[in-house]
Structure 1
Amino acid sequence: MPARRMTRFWADRRLALKGLVVIALPLAILLGALVSLYIASNAEVRAENDVRRAFAIQRDTYQVHALLAEAAAGVRGYALTGQERFLEPYRKAEASLPPTMVRLDQAIRDREVRERFNRINELTARKREGLKSIVDLARNGNRAAIEPALVSNKIVLDAMRQEIELIQRREGVLLDQRRARVDEVRGRFLLLTAISAVVGLLGSLAAVYLFSTGIVRRVQILEANAELLARGEELAEMPDDADEIGRLAQRMARASALLRGREQALRESEERFRLVIEEVQDYGIFALDPQGVVTSWNLGAQRIKGWEAEEILGHHFSRFYPEETRGHLPAQMLERARRDGTAEDEGWRLRKDGSPFWANVVITALHDEHGALRGFAKVTRDMTERRRSEEALRFAREEAIAANLAKSEFLSRTSHELRTPMSAILGFGQLLELDEDQFEPRHREALSQIMKAGRHLLSLINDLLDISSIEAGGAELNLEQIDLGELLQEVHGLAAPIVATAGLKFVLEQPAEPLVAWADRRRVVQVMLNLVSNAAKYNRTGSQVRLTCSSKGRDIRVEVEDDGTGVASSEVSRLFTPFDRLGQQSRAKVDGTGLGLALSKRLVESMGGQIGYEAPEQGARFWFTLPSRARSSSARSKAGKQRA
């Protein structure tokens, strides 16, 4: 009975009271849920901001280290070479570090990270001061102080790296905590969203059920407005009521205005994009349908190809290709774009007037949201000037090669032409030497000068012939397996008189084990004699010349070392330059052709080895390497037969 009386009492109440009771309660719950959602949303935003700030701190700390590392490498390159281009990373670091440090200072909230950031700030200042001082030292030419400065700066960079790793570790912990907080807030957010949705649905159902007879017309208007909103059209006017339906209508009207504003902005953005594409003049940008027919045309395409838009729209893009490629290349390009997404090609294309130009072409396939092919975007760039430059460079290179070959041919022919009369001069000179005792002293001295000059000139001619023969690819090499220990002993015997004449001791250090090289025996002897002769001629302050060889991995290394004054560091790069006889202006004249080292370099390289110079604590050390082969009995037998 009490339940029936309660139901009756409720049924007899006015609609306004029912609305107040039935709608107010769910609305109050809904408002509370919305407030909770707002709070949860703000909490999620704050948590996400914390996560983004952690990422930003990690990125900026890495950037600080990267900028300083690149600046240090650039400064080191500048200190070693003196070239200004190496200072570009240093200048970039000087420009980028201050704002990066300011961002870090503003972003860091954690106390531990703040303490490490302060240490990084101090190390950064020290690093920048050290790099500046190295640049100043390099510009002032104070190279002795550069190496300690570089070492000190590296220590600072290592310390900074450790601090940054600690910050990254700490920020990683904080990032995990903040992500967990974001997930927690998002979970609450989803729960509140579900509760709000349920409460809102129940309230709406109750309102519709209780007020259906009084609000059907307005609901029908709202339904019609919803359809208009979906189509993006202007909504019908609603009564200016203050109840829930009125507020809903107002919100819908605002949503409609916002949607139309966004659509307008989108249309304007698309229009701006279209204008940008159409106004680009350095690139021909146009669209093709799936069959390759031109559907759009920008000013760049018009400038490059010569066709107006109305002249080319609706025509197949194969019109741009020369006759010899028109039948197959356009179809192949479209097929590659369909298969791979993009297709790129360089080749000759035609302008409207028929003139060719060299083009770089990229065709990109365009698909809709379902993956269906909608057409292609084609970008064309005129590369004719670059092509001409490449052709000119190729012609210049070919001409340089031809000139070098002509030079080698000239040297070879000239040397051959000089060799014949020179041999005759030396032959007659040797005949005169047979009767030298019958000559007066002044005639004997003249004959000696003739023979000395003739032999010197013949040596020069032979060296020129060797160099020109190697450069022309005509040097004959008899490659065989040779025992370096025996060969060093032979060279020691041949060069001992030369070294003794210079008043020096000739030291031979035999290898501890047999060493076999794959080389031309006569050429190796020639290289060794050149190096030993140079050491004897230029060692005016020392006491000895040392000859030795050893195994270095898969190669054998031969060294000729003296304890004289050595070679100035500024002249090392010119050691193997033909006719460049270093130091003649500061020391007594030394006989020579100026071709010995250059010839030795070419001979060693033609046998597959390398040659170089090192500066020991005192004197000079020249070395060269020869490829080695495993020594076996059959190889020794074969090598012996070749030598025989």
Structure 2
Amino acid sequence: MNERSLRLFLPLVMLAVMLVFGAASLAYALHQKQRDLTASERLNLLRDVAHLVRLSDGLPPGTSDLLAEEVAQVASRPQVQVVLLVTEAGEVLNASRAAWRGRTVREVWPTLDLGRLRQAARGRLPDWQMHADGQRMDAVQSFTLPSRDDEVRSLRRAVVYVAYDLSTLRAQAQHAEVMGRVPDMLGWLAMMGLMVWLLGRYVTRPLAQLDKVSRALRRGEWGTPVPRGGFMEIDHLAGGFDALRQELAATWQALPDLLFELDGEGRYLRVLSPKTEWLLLAPERLIGKTVREVMPPAAAEVVHQALRDADKLGAVWGRELALDVPAGAKWFEISVARKETPDGVRPSYILISRNVTPRKEAEERLKLLNEELEMRVAARTLELTTAKDEAERANHSKSDFLSRMSHELRTPLNAILGFGQLLEFSAREPLQIAHVRQILHGGKHLLALINEVLDLARVESGQMTVSLEQVALRPLLEECLTLVRPQAQARDIRLLDVACGDAWQVRADRTRLKQVFLNLLSNAIKYNQTAGVVSVGCVLEDEGICIRFSDTGAGLTPDQQARLFVPFERLDAGEHHHVEGTGIGLALSKRLMTLMGGQIGVESQVGEGSTFWVRLPRAQDGTGPGDAAGTVRQAALATSGGGVAVRTVLCIEDNPNNLQLIESVVGMLPGVRLLSAMAPGLGLEMARTHKPHLILLDINLPDMDGYAVMQCLREHPATRGIPVIAVSANAMPRDLERSRAAGFAAYVTKPIDVGQLLRKVDELALSPEPD
């Protein structure tokens, strides 16, 4: 049988076992019974032969009737087949049948072997034999015949032959044995019936019920009750099965999935679904149909492709299809796995379908949001780009405005300060000297204000750059103290010596650092008390050097310290109205320190003075390049003087006042001849004709600017080697960079510093004559 039922198989097995056991037991009993019968009849046979031998041996004459009676008595038993008394020659002396007497053995019992008779006659022991069929046995034993009258002792021998046929006895014994076991067999059958009933009642029937429940669960009937009771093991099995049913039911109800079993052609074999509204048809109507019969062609092809892939790979995931179900248009994601089946059985496939409509809708919304976001980003990017362009245009406009304002402010200041310095050189009366100095003082203050405003604007707009180098602190601090010493002497402020190592250096922009130091020293003098003290000291730290500027002024409150580095914020403008200042210096110093990678701060208490500190990264100790450059410059200034040959200087300037100022300044140098031109074309022609030793070139010229004039000078062989100094009111960093790129030897900003211009002219006009 291909399918074995325990309810049928177990009783049959028990019956077979009982029959085999009973048959074996009966066979053994019969065998033992036959052995006992054989042994008993053998003894009887030998006893009969021995009895007849005793009667026959030496029997006196006339007793033959007695012997015949004994023979007849032995032969009367049912198992006795024949009794013969036979001579050695084979003559029958007596027999179980009277008719056989006097006849030969061959005639009455031909199966008796004469050779056996003769051999038995020679001995005295009985000869017993069992025939091959196991049913017959016989025995032969010799005896001595009575002596005749002529014999003293008889020498003649005869034998007694007795043959048994045990077939009747064996049949009777077997029948008796079998009949004796019938009650036992009936008892065994009754016991087996009881056991079969018990097994059916308490084992096979509960198992059949569990099998029925399992089939219902495979159909998705999760509410099918599990029967309980019976033996403890079966009840425990049913309890575990029921717990598993409840767990699977809860799990399946919690899962938002549909489960199908399909064959290779896509035919529905089983349908499990917690939500029938997601099915194309009712579960019972889907069974037996194929996916091509109930699904659109595109969706059916997706399922068949998943079945083919699962047959090759074992399982596939993530295939999507769209279906119109009673609940509406839905998207489903299917996963397919091949079920393992025995050889020769067509495989089936488990298909799990999950409703992913919310995810697809979310993806669609996300796609729309992404598109909207991209549009908004593009629009915002356009706005930012437009704003950036506007900011850059505003920045350029601001830079142009600063450059223009710098030029417009510096041009009149150039005349004011230039002629003021000339008046200072030529004035002799004390009152005139005092008036000129007031003019120069006001002009310098206005120039400082313009420079600070422009520097702050450049820092905030990101146009100012710094060039970091190794700067020796002590020479720079001493140079700054020298510059502010007249200011300190005017207010009776004592400047203490610098407390700094000779070889200590920092990484900074020397020019900008000098500007910060001068601002801090100037403030320490201006806001100090009369006859106060200013001290400068350096302190080594882990990776830097802190420079401290201390004064003995009134000190600052915490609120004042919080507003200290705000542009245009003057803390004690009412109290110190006599102190010149714009409130820009400290704000500019803070931004310059940030550009150089340093820090600036203040420590102050009211009534105890203030200490401003600057912290910068430390550089390798040694002689700074800035210090060496200063030494070279001082040596050059010291060696320049009189006794030189006449040199020619050409000035190209369109402003008459500025030209007059330069003529007055250059006229102060001995041995220098000044040529002037107020138009660029005339200046180029004079340069090619006179080949001056130096050219002072204004940048803002009519028709062509100073850079175009410079290019013409460099392109002509006669003027290619003449050094050119740019003189302009444009003081922005980009202007300085552009002048260096154009090849100018120096750049002098307006208002002109007469001393600086004299040094530049003196330095460059004394160079070797051009070829």
Say which structure is richer in helix: 1
User: Which category describes the TM-score, using the shorter chain as reference length?
Assistant: 0.3 to 0.5
Using the size of structure 1 for normalisation, the TM-score is 0.44
